[in-house]
Structure 1
Amino acid sequence: MIFGAVERLMALRYLRSRRQEGFISVIAVFSLLGIALGVATLIIVMAVMNGFRVELLDRILGVNGHLTILTSAERSITDYPDLARQLRELDHVEVVTPQVQGQVMVMADDRANGAMVRGVSAEDLASRPKMTGRLMATSFEEFAQGEGLLIGVGMAQSLGLREGDSITLISPQMSRTALGSVPRMKAYPILGFFEVGMHEYDSSFIYMPLELAQVFFRQPEGVNAIEVMVDDPDRVGRVSGAILQEIMANRADPARVIDWQSANSSFFNAVQVERNVMFLILSLIILVAAFNILSGQYMLVKGKGRDIAILRTMGAPRGLVLRVFFMSGAAIGLFGTLAGLGLGLLFIDNIETLQGWVERLTGAQVFNPEVYFLTQLPAVVDWNEVWQVVAMALSISFLAPLLPAWQAARLDPVEALRYE
């Protein structure tokens, strides 16, 4: 073994508190607690931020496809049944949803709001559990019959709408009449409401039966968008090339493919930057604790100068002295890291219980669902990140005592015993 029994015994005894050296042991305890809290905080914060990312990604992809094939406003995909069938045969493709998309102005009494209309078939809408999970069965059955619209709860609240009310959709596309060009508008009944949990979708999205949308947006024989769901959203790039090649090989009309990563790049880049900044800031806790190890070891070496000199005169090599003091400092980092790992995982495993305890103690909600659309802290442990945190903490903890241990190994016995 690298560390012998004598070295381990001496390192352990140097960490024990004595009356005249109690301050050194106090520093060691606080260093261990600092590293444990730093590691635990990093693991908890990274898990919570991963949970937020997973929740947001789940809600975004519960409404939008992983890939979207879009055409120009003047063109439509008329052979979309055949194209959808060909896309479903590609590797890694799970769901293909032809649809008609368009922006409209929504009018209800004296209130107005902008909205995005998506015309989809009832079968394709049923494949989106995020959309249909909070719909009443009667509303979905009526939607399947093509009798009305589904709107988000946010839009219903802003326009003061209830089930059974009607809204008027105004299209930016003009209709030519004998009196000139006028905007096209039509009233539709509201069949029900959906709630995704994101304000952007709940307040500005409308779902319409595909046949009604084709008539309203003047695309009676085609669609202007096809959404594709793949088996792994994080590796959507491997499928987009095959889909684009399939489109170019079978179609002369221009079309473009947009994946969810590029469509939401600014949002998820902001989340990633925030995660990196939080990791950097919280890593300073571990760094400060490592400086405590460094200062404590310097004080230990200073106080043990006579013992080091006696060991050296008895024939102990420099390597033994270096290993003893390195082990005494590294042990603080090792046990602190392990304690922080256990504390962090225990906190994450009981995060709902702790949240309830804090809410009962303070009498306030930690996360107001009306603001954050979350009733509890989401936490997802990424074991790769956990091991990175542990490796970083151990690296810093093992580097900190090296300099004091090297200084102890270089101590001259004659100088140390001169005034004894």
Structure 2
Amino acid sequence: MFGPFERMLAWRYLRARKGERFVSITAAFSLLGIALGVAALIIVMAVMNGFRQDLIARIIGLNGHLTVHPASGRSLAAYETLAARLAALPGVAQAVPTIEGQVLLTGQQGGAAGGAVRGIAPEALRARGVIARGLRLGSLEGFGGDDTAVLGLRLAARMGLRLGDQVTLVLPQARGADFSVAPKQRAFRIVGLFDIGMPEYDGREVFIPLAAAQAFFGLEQAASQVELFVADPDQVAPVTEAVRRLLARQPYRVTDWQGANSSIYAAVVVERNVMFLILTLVILVAAFNIISSLTMLVKDKGRDIAILRTMGARQGAILRIFLLCGATVGCGGTLIGFLLGLGIASNFDGLRAALLALEGTPFFRPELLFLTQLPAVVDPREVVLVLAMGLGLSLLATLYPSWRAARIDPARALRHG
């Protein structure tokens, strides 16, 4: 497409010569602007992906991706059969019956706090990666029987509890066999303390075995819900529809994590899209710089263009020369930005550690400390989109100045040159 003559002239026009340095400096700044815009977009999108992935993992790590509740009442009697039916659906990785309830916790030293109790089978709790990774003290192997519990580390610290201590769960309004209402309490031994970095869970959650929860809450041979985990949490909507079709006209209510956390999920999606739009405008501004620098180059080379035309150069050749000048700046900046952005995003952990070491003091509050540990997740599709956008805007920015160069009238340019 571009001949040796056109490539040679384009390269000569881009080089800084005596009296032409301003045009070359403008082209260099245009290249730098494109490079920084593309790099910033790749880095920010990778960080936003890491933030979204980490936040979603923490939100749904202690909860099922979708949950089946009774439409009325508080118990599922045939929960084992229901869990087996749900586990057989395509896309469902695990179906876990659980019991949830709000209780008052009291410790050996007299501390008291409100908490959320979850009754779960021991093997199901061990299978939850977020708990296994977040366990700070104790072991999940000791979780089982009728009197063991796993607590959030913040909750234990607030109550002055340590590993091996007894914590008493108090159910303020437990209905007795004679239909009287009186507090019910039961002591559990702490076998594990976890910290997943989310205060709303670390400061209130208590796990006890499912059988113990059934006895404590008076739900013999019943559960309060069935939690389902899917292979891809982002594709939970089709599984939710399949579950609703399976349970149509049955007394069950189905909610997924996107619906239950719709405000948080929507905020993350909107923020991600807004950041993409803002940084796209940075690339667009850099593309306008290409237009201005190429326009100045065309004006500066008007006499040269006229001479080339009188020597037999066609309009197409002139058009290709300046297209090549603009494409060299725009595409070169895009490729430099791509390499810079991908390099920083791929080594984000090391760079973050270096910045934290230079800072010397933590600049995040303890409850936001997980922000310093966010991964940068590079999505190949987004990188391809950024590359295509950078290259496309760069090429579009060269069209009008190149067309103007090709349309220059040789006689007028030589007369007024």
State the TM-score, normalized to the length of structure 2: 0.92
Residue 280 (structure 2) pairs with residue 283 (structure 1): yes
Matched, 1:329 2:326: yes
Does the CA contact (< 8 Å) of 1:351 and 1:377 recur in 2?
no
**CA 185–146 in structure 1, closer or farther in 2 if over 3 Å, else same:** closer
CA displacement 1:131-167 (0-9 Å, x = unmatched): 1345489653442122122110121122222223333
The match for 1:28 is: 27
* Corresponding residue of 1:388: 385
Q: Name the counterpart of 2:205.
A: 205
In 1: Cα distance, 2:218 partner to 2:357 partner? 56
Is 1:297 the counterpart of 2:294? The answer is yes
Deviations 1:30-80 (A, max 9, x none): 111111111111101111111111122223332111111111562422211
Contact persistence 2:91–2:239 (CA under 8 A): yes
Distance 2:282 2:378 in 1: 21
Deviation digits for residues 365-398 of structure 1, max 9, x if unmatched?
4767653325534111101111111111112111
Q: What residue number does 2:373 align with?
A: 376
8 A Cα contact 2:136 2:195, kept in partner: no
**Residue 19 of structure 2: SS of its match in structure 1?**
helix
Q: Partner residue of 1:86?
A: 85
Please list, as runs of the form range in 1=range in 2, the aligned pairs for 1:337-348 lying within 5 A after superposition: 337-348=334-345
Unaligned runs of 5+ in 1: none
Distance 1:386 1:141 in 2: 43
| Contact map agreement 1:66 1:230 (CA 8 A) in 2 | yes
Q: Which moved more, 1:168-177 or 1:288-297?
A: 168-177
- 1:416 corresponds to 2:405: no
Is 1:258 aligned to 2:238, yes or no? Answer: no
Change in CA separation of 1:299 and 1:134 when aligned onto 2, cut-off 3 Å: closer
Residues 369 and 375, structure 1, Cα contact 8 Å, conserved in 2: no
Paired residues, what number?
A: 416
Distance change (3 Å), C-alpha of 1:110 and 1:41: same
Q: Distance in 1 between matches of 2:299 and 2:40?
A: 33
Residue 193 of structure 1 corresponds to 193
Task: Give the structure 2 partner of residue 355 of structure 1.
Answer: 352
The Cα shift of 1:118 comes to: 0.8
1:236: how far off? 1.7
Look up the SS of the partner of 1:400 in the other structure. helix
Separation in structure 2 between the aligned mates of residue 161 and residue 198 of structure 1, nearest angstrom: 19
Once the 2 structures are TM-superposed, how far is the Cα of residue 401 of structure 1 from its aligned partner? 2.0
Unaligned runs of 5+ in 2: none
CA 1:308–1:342: 2 relative to 1, 3 Å: same
Distance 1:360 1:224, change over 3 A: closer
Q: In structure 1, what is the equivalent of residue 128 of structure 2?
A: 128
Q: How far apart are the structure 2 equivalents of 1:280 and 1:294?
A: 21
CA distance in 2: counterparts of 1:127 and 1:348, whole angstroms: 31
- State how far apart, in whole Å, the 2-side matches of 1:406 and 1:138 are: 73
Q: Look up the SS of the partner of 1:302 in the other structure.
A: helix
Q: Does 1:306 align with 2:314?
A: no
Give aligned-pair identity as a percent.
Answer: 50
C-alpha change, 1:176 and 1:282, in structure 2 (3 Å) is same
CA distance in 2 between counterparts of 1:392 and 1:55 reads 28
Supply the distance in 2 between the matched residues of 1:157 and 1:318 (Cα, whole angstroms).
79
Partner deviation per Cα, 1:112-145 (whole Å, 9 max, x = no partner) = 4332211011121121122134548965344212
Residues 48 and 5 (structure 1 numbering): CA distance in 2 closer, same or farther, change over 3 Å?
A: same
**Aligned counterparts of 1:221 and 1:84: Cα–Cα separation in 2:** 14
Between the aligned partners of 2:275 and 2:136, the Cα distance in structure 1 is 42
1:51 is matched by which residue type in structure 2? G
- Structure 1 position 403 matched with structure 2 position 400: yes
Q: Give runs of aligned pairs for residues 77-226 of structure 1, distance below 5 A.
A: 77-108=76-107, 111-135=111-135, 139-171=139-171, 173-175=173-175, 181-226=181-226
RMSD: 2.4
Cα distance change of structure 1 residues 122 and 358 upon mapping to structure 2, 3 Å threshold? same
Tell me how far 1:202 sits from its aligned partner. 0.9
Cα deviation, residue 174, structure 1: 4.4
| Per-residue Cα deviation, 1:235-289 (whole angstroms, up to 9, x for no partner) | 222222332333347xx5x111111121122112111111111112222321222
**Secondary structure, in 3 states, of the residue corresponding to 1:238?**
helix
- The one-letter code matched in structure 2 to 1:321 is I
Instruction: Answer whether contact 1:100 1:210 (CA < 8 A) is retained.
Output: yes
Query: 5 Å matches for 1:38-53?
Result: 38-53=37-52
**d(CA) in 1 for partners of 2:301 and 2:194?**
71
1:9 equivalent in structure 2: 8
Structure 2 contact 172–182 (Cα < 8 Å) conserved: no
Contact 1:355-1:366 at 8 Å conserved across structures: no
